[in-house]
Structure 1
Amino acid sequence: MPVRKGAPALRCAGTLCAALLLAGCGASPTPQTAPAARQPAAAPTTGDARPKPAPVPRIPGIGPATQARVPDGTTQAFVVTGATADSNTAVGVLYERDAKGRWTATGGPWPAHNALRGWTPEHEAGDLRTPIGVFRLGDTGGRLPDPGARLPYDEDPEFAISGTGFSGESLEGSFDHVIAIDYNRVPGRTPLDKERPLGPEKGGGVWIHVDHGGPTQACVALERDTLRTLLVALDPSREPVVVMGPAPELAR
C-alpha cells in the first residue's frame, strides 16, 4: 500500500494539541513568584502542658495511703512508729498542720512502748498486738486530777490498777492519766466505758497511758511527764488523731 505523504507530521501535531488541551484544563496560568520563606517547625509536645497541682503535704514518714485516712479537718496528729511489725518499743512525735497545709513536729520524739508482740492491722482480743491505723483522740481521764487537758477528762478511782507487767514490773500508776484511742469504743464517753461496737472479740480499752517500763497488752505507753505534756497539748478544735504502726506500714 502506498504511504500517504505528510501522515507522520499530522500525528505529531495531534499529540501536541492534546497535550496543550490537557494542560489548559488544570488551571489558569499564573505568574511565577519567589518561594515563601520556610517557617521553623514547631517543637513537638510530649504531654499535657497545663500546670500540675502542687502535691498535698504529708506528715513526715507517712505515705499517701496512710495520709488519706487522716480526716481533712485534722490539724494535729500524734504519730507512734515502731521499727518492725513485731517490735514492742516505739517513738512518738506530735505534728501540727499550719495554714498552708505543712506538717511540723511540735513535740517529741518521745520513747514509747506498745504491745508485747508488736502490731497488727486486724486486732483481736488477747492477741497482744497494738492495732495499726489512724484513730481519733477525743476523751481522756485518770486516777489523778486533770493536769490541764482541753479534751474532756474523767477523774475516777476506777482507773486504779495493780499487778505486774510482762517484765515483772509494777503496773501501779499506769492509769493515773490516759487518753482513749477510738478503737472499738463509743466516742464521747469516759475511757472506762465498756461498750464495744465491733464486738468483744475485737478487743477494746486501747489507751495511751503512763509507761510502766515494759510492753503492754495492746496500748501505747509514754513516760509520765511526756503523757502529761501530750494531754495538755491536744486541742479538740484541731480534731486530733493518733497515727500508729510499724514504719514500713505507715509509709505506704
Structure 2
Amino acid sequence: MPLRAALLTTVCAGLLLTGCAEPSTGPAARPAKASTEPAPGPPADPAPATAPRPAELPGIGPLTRARIPAATRQALVVTGEGPDSSRSTVVLYAYEPTRGWHSVSEPWQAHNALRGWTDDHHADDLRTPIGVFRIGDAGGRLPDPGTRLPYDQDEEFNMSGTGFLGEPLEGSFDHVVAIDYNRVPGTTPLNKTRPLGLAKGGGVWIHVDHGGPTRACVSLPLERMRELLLALDPAKEPVIVMGHAAALAR
C-alpha cells in the first residue's frame, strides 16, 4: 500500500475509535442548558367566589334610597299604581347586613288619597305625600293588640259618615300608625301640632281600610293593620317609603 494511503487509513481508524464521528450520547456529553421555567407545583386553589351584593329595596331608585336613614332596618314600601291612582300595594321589608333587604310580608292591597300622589302636599289637596317618613307612634279606638310601638288607646279615634264612594267610615281609626309628616314625633297620633304650618296638611296616618280612597292617608284591611302593628319594632327605626312607582324609582 502506498505510504499516503496507509497514513489516511490509520487516521480515520483513530477518529472512529474516539467517537468524534457523531455526537456522543454517553456520560461525557455536554449537559443540557438549565431551564429558566419554574418547576411545576401543586395546582393553585380556585379564586374565591365574590360575595353577593346585599339586595336593595325593589323598585326604589337612588334618590329615594338616599333618604332612608342608615340605621333603619324596617321599611314599609307603599307603591301606588299611578300618580293619580288611589290604589296601591304595600310590602314590609327587613334589612340584614349580609342579606340586604328582603320582604317579610305578602303584598297587601291598600288605598291612598282620592287624587293620587304629590311631591308638595297641602291641606285638602286629596293627595298623599310622596317620600320617606319615620313611623313610630300608634294608637286607636281598640285596645293595643301587642305592638312594641307606643300605643294610645282613646275614644277620640272615632270616625263617622261616609267616604268618597258612599262607604261607611266607622272603624277606620280602630288602629292607626302615625306617619311623621308635619307632626311632632314621639307623641300620640292625635297631637295636632303642625311644625310646617297648617297649610302643609297633617294627620297623615296608616289606618284601617274602609273600602275606598282616603283624603291623604294609606289604609289597610283590619287584619293587615294588626299584622303591621305586631311586626313594627322601634329598635329597627322603621320608615314608610311611599309614592307612585315612577316617583319611587327616581
TM-score category (smaller protein): 0.7 to 0.9
TM-score (norm 2): 0.78
- The aligned counterpart of 1:126 is 124
Unaligned runs of 5+ in 2: 1-51
**CA–CA distance in 2 between the matches of 1:222 and 1:108?**
13
1:172 is paired with a residue whose SS is coil
1:92 is paired with a residue whose SS is strand
- The aligned counterpart of 2:72 is 74
**CA–CA distance in 2 between the matches of 1:63 and 1:83?**
17
**CA–CA distance in 2 between the matches of 1:231 and 1:60?**
23
- The aligned counterpart of 1:234 is 232
1:111 is paired with a residue whose SS is strand
Contact 1:58 1:64 in 2 (8 A): no
Sequence identity (%): 66
Contact 1:95 1:103 in 2 (8 A): yes
**CA–CA distance in 2 between the matches of 1:146 and 1:84?**
34
Of 96, 99, 104, the match for 2:97: 99
- The aligned counterpart of 1:32 is none
How many angstroms does 1:88 deviate by?
0.2
1:1-252 matches, within 5 Å, as: 57-100=55-98, 102-252=100-250
Unaligned runs of 5+ in 1: 1-53
**CA–CA distance in 2 between the matches of 1:59 and 1:199?**
32
Contact 1:137 1:180 in 2 (8 A): yes
Contact 2:54 2:98 in 1 (8 A): no
How many angstroms does 1:55 deviate by?
6.5
**CA–CA distance in 2 between the matches of 1:173 and 1:145?**
13
TM-score (norm 1): 0.78
CA RMSD of aligned residues (A): 1.5
1:103 is paired with a residue whose SS is strand
1:107 is paired with a residue whose SS is coil
**CA–CA distance in 2 between the matches of 1:250 and 1:219?**
17
Contact 2:138 2:188 in 1 (8 A): yes
1:221 is paired with a residue whose SS is strand
Count of residue correspondences: 201
Contact 1:178 1:210 in 2 (8 A): yes
- The aligned counterpart of 1:33 is none
Note the alpha carbon deviations across 1:183-226, whole angstroms, 9 max, x for none. Answer: 00000000000000000000000000000000000000000000
1:96 maps to a residue whose letter is A
